[in-house]
Structure 1
């Protein structure tokens, strides 16, 4: 976050303040991007609940869960961004609300991607068993397990926070801007973050890659529906790209800290704003572009809803 950009001397800060018009431009780019994607994702959520077929198909139910988590992570992320841009500091306990919400939601997307990959694998490699394995009930159970895993994750962090409070004194009026790194300031959290992120992305990556290999082998078989297998393979490859972008977003702060050692403050502010859009916002907004517009069942209804049914007949003809 922008707390990394604060100079050690007030004189230096006054000399190195970015141009206000440039700050407004970056703010408009970031806030405008979030608001645009937020609107599109909200419309896609509405679309996925507008027809019975979407509510009774496992892949659409999983897509709804994926977008739901992405939307509600954008809201506190935008709040922290605005606080840092406006250079506003808040008490420690107030900072904990958006930070804990972001941490709680940040792993929902990769875990959901793993379940979505397994669903495509079963649909292509075991089509006769797909209807019995990925029922609405079983899909709901899988989503509940995903959220339960994240609840355990945030509970462990809360217990670690209580332990830290009992060992050291904490200034409830933060000296720096609210961020995940400043809220979880103790070294023990850095070690926990490395273990959690490594385990999460390794396990999800194995699930997606294994599903991709399985579908690729089936696609080469002459006895299968090659068109369906190729579509599933393309979807799994998009899952893998999506996971890579989420991984890059999770390394967002680490990348900024590394760059901060080699560039000046003004250039760092510019890089920060660009990275915020392309590494933090974009990976959480690709669900609509990757999954919503590609699906022939969703696309006409989504386009209708995005345009408030204006010229809906034109879109449907296409």
Structure 2
């Protein structure tokens, strides 16, 4: 019997060499920025539901969907990180459920970016038809398709797990910490994971790049609004950067496996913590920072809610004293 959790075992084994102070330090350095970004993302989500202009505009509805998926992924990643840092092992069903939710939210993000890119393409290249093509109803349908497609992928992953002989195990308790790599329990799961990841991001990359090229070509037309085209072009570039950062999370485990062959275990664990912040935490907060700062409609409302919440926190803390 062979199942693919050798790498998590190495990392878990190395954590035995980490002192309590070092583990607490690393956990603090990841938890503090994660909580800050969760606060910002939560405020951004509240902002996008606070006014009718946001609830009735397609691009803001798509942005809400993107932020929601990123926030779920961020919270879940930090939960699994703290579980591993605390040396808490889960059962296979619990770990499988957490990974299922994580895979679902992680795949919704790039697909939503594709829909957002197509919306900007229609806005620039077909401005007269934008209002009839990009409607609230069509946006809702696109979001349902995105979640359905991602759910089908998760369902296939679950079906592939059914081939694993769990009944032959002495216990369903995992020996190592929970991770997506630990749930690749058979060769077919590993092959499918790689194939789907390549297909997803290749397709998403082609869609975003094609939208960008279409906007650039349209910007040279005399009948196109130059300011609108330039803004859409910059937005699509940001979408491409976001897509690249989402892709970086898929090469996280292979990168660590490659490093495990050339560095010591204690160095590997420290590098893993740094990569976790750069690959998982930072990309999940990028959408809030980009749209919260760039969008002239969102910025004042977002700053109002952020400042009010901070003031309330300070007042509550003083009252408690």
- TM-score, structure 1 length as denominator? 0.91
* Cα distance change of structure 1 residues 107 and 13 upon mapping to structure 2, 3 Å threshold: closer
* Deviations, residues 12-55 of structure 1 (Å, cap 9, x unaligned): 876xx234333222211111111111110010000000110101
Q: Is residue 206 from structure 1 mapped to residue 206 from structure 2 by the alignment?
A: yes
* Deviations, residues 60-106 of structure 1 (Å, cap 9, x unaligned): 00000000111111222112101111111122122222111111211
* 8 Å Cα contact 1:108-1:147 kept in structure 2: yes
Alignment correspondent of 2:317: none
Alignment correspondent of 1:273: 273
Coordinate RMSD, CA, aligned: 1.8
Structure 1 gaps, min length 5: 312-318
* Cα distance change of structure 1 residues 3 and 306 upon mapping to structure 2, 3 Å threshold: farther
* Cα distance change of structure 1 residues 5 and 142 upon mapping to structure 2, 3 Å threshold: same
- Mean Cα displacement is larger for which, 107-116 or 265-274? 265-274
CA distance in 1, matches of 2:10, 2:226: 51
Q: Is residue 250 from structure 1 mapped to residue 250 from structure 2 by the alignment?
A: yes
CA distance in 2, matches of 1:132, 1:283: 33
CA distance in 2, matches of 1:29, 1:279: 15
Where 2:128 maps in the other structure, the secondary structure is helix
CA distance in 1, matches of 2:47, 2:272: 34
CA distance in 1, matches of 2:200, 2:291: 22
CA distance in 2, matches of 1:309, 1:22: 33
- Mean Cα displacement is larger for which, 91-100 or 237-246? 91-100
Alignment correspondent of 2:97: 97
* 8 Å Cα contact 2:9-2:176 kept in structure 1: yes
CA distance in 2, matches of 1:309, 1:155: 40
- In the TM superposition, 1:44-59 aligns within 5 A as 44-59=44-59
* Cα distance change of structure 1 residues 13 and 123 upon mapping to structure 2, 3 Å threshold: closer
* 8 Å Cα contact 2:91-2:172 kept in structure 1: yes
* 8 Å Cα contact 1:3-1:84 kept in structure 2: no
Alignment correspondent of 1:76: 76
Which 4+ stretches in 1 moved above 4 angstroms?
none
